[in-house]
Amino acid sequence: MRRMREAVLSFESRDDGLPRIIKEYRDTYQAISQVLDANPEILLAVHEDLKELSEGSSKGRGGDYTSENILRALIVKHKEGLTYRKAVIRIGSDPFLQDFLRMWKMVVMDFTFLSKCFKAIQPQTWKRVNEILGQYAVAQKMIRTDVIRTDTTVVESNIHYPTDASLLWDTWRVSSRLLKRAREIVPGCCPHRFHSKKIKKLYLYVTRYIPSKSAKRQQQVKTHFRTLIERVAWMISVVEEFCNASHSNAEVADLASKLKAYLPAMKKVVRAAIKSQIEGQKVPAAERVFSIFEPHTELIIRGRREKPVEFGHKTLLSETKQKFISDYEVYELQQPDNELTEPAILRHEKLFGVRPKVMAADKGFCPEQKKFEELAKLIPTLAIPRRMRDFMDQALVAWQKFRAGIEGTISGLKRAFRLIRCFHRGFKSFSSAVGLGVFCHNLIVLGKLKSG
């Protein structure tokens, strides 16, 4: 069984003669450590998820690293904006960070183990630890929750720009690669031949010439597209045949289970390609899949000039005057902003026991008039413009200037905490990554308020 923590002396005095910037860097981690120590419920919540990761050996030997070591390693990784591999290298080469992790003179954990630990912590656990931080900050009078600002942003999935041709090629290359690997292990398990070079030529031809304005070229593109779709549809039938067969070899059975997981997304890709490229129909986003690797990804149109279309998930953030993120929500299925206003108010009331006195948001959060009037009765100042002439009100203009401050927080989350794009697989890990990013942001904010 994994231990929760060990009694280890931390932060030995080694700051003499160091430059000011290094002292400030270390002060930040010391302040974060003090906040974590003041909230043992955070470690307890994370420990409940991590203790099942290692049940120990038959001789009673527990895990090598405590839950505290792991939690603090994840904080370092996210705060520094590093990959798992680079985070482990940074920790292993810096005695001060080893001190922060409370694993002084211990061998640093492997980066693959740290990744498994992250996946073991549930998204709801990250929400819980952020709630604990918020309640602690209110109790210590470090933040006030009577005035909040709210906005949404998009955290992108780690996918390439999806087109019908590229998704068809992804389907072919993944299927053929796994089937060839299975055939190397058990030669007779898949008797079919795969002409991947010919399929790639079809894909490249379509990609290269689809922008052409020549009628003759467009006719050739359509012919090549039809052939590509037919060949990929044939490949899917081969994959289904392979997955439905019984395999005695464990490695081949594992490859079959991997292909079976891809099948629903692959079928959607082919259906959408047939409708759009052969039948000439317009396929709604709800009927499409934008990656066979991240099938949970949504297409989100936010009207931004530099990036009109984004692929990921909508995320709502609520922030106090002190830049503390009091609430966040990651939506697996996107909702219009004007439907998120009331739930944000109700969650705030549930978290802190009272409704905010002021809620500032942009025009997109304005519900229909009847609902707006209902919400205005719940909150003394609902600083959400309904029409352009509302900006003649100087009080509303002031609150809108306050609202704009959340844009800086969103930018910081994306740049400093790697939330511009999530590199984890699956929606569960996607939500956890957002939760960890918000948690690290809040730790730094409270650390500054505590030391200030």
Segment 299-306 long-range contacts (CB within 8 Å, at least 24 positions apart): 300/154, 300/334, 302/154
- Choose the weakest-confidence range: 97-106, 132-141, 225-234, 346-355: 97-106
The model's pLDDT over 190-212, given as tens digits with 9 standing for 90+, comes to 888 899 999 999 999 999 999 99
pLDDT for 56 equals 53
Which has more confidence, 59 or 66?
Answer: 66
pLDDT for 188 equals 85
The model's pLDDT over 88-105, given as tens digits with 9 standing for 90+, comes to 999 999 989 999 999 877
Q: Which pLDDT band holds residue 253 (cuts at 50, 70, 90)?
A: very high
The answer, yes or no, to whether residue 16 has pLDDT greater than 70, is no
35: alpha, beta or left, given left = phi > 0 and alpha = psi -120 to 50? Answer: alpha
DSSP letters for 173-205: HHHHHHHHHHHHHSTTS------HHHHHHHHHH
The model's pLDDT over 389-437, given as tens digits with 9 standing for 90+, comes to 777 778 888 999 999 999 999 999 999 888 999 999 999 999 999 999 9
State percent of the chain over pLDDT 70: 95
pTM score: 0.90
The pLDDT of 227-245, averaged and rounded, is 95
Q: What are the start-end ranges of the H helices in 280-340?
A: none
The pLDDT of 350-378, averaged and rounded, is 90
The pLDDT of 304-314, averaged and rounded, is 88
What's the rounded Cα separation, in Å, for the pair 37 and 446? 13
pLDDT for 34 equals 93
**Helix, coil or strand: residue 148:** strand
The pLDDT of 314-325, averaged and rounded, is 95
The answer, yes or no, to whether residue 339 has pLDDT greater than 70, is yes
**Helix, coil or strand: residue 360:** strand
Domains and CATH numbers, the chain: 20-121 (no CATH), 137-159+296-442 (3.30.420.10), 164-287 (1.20.120)
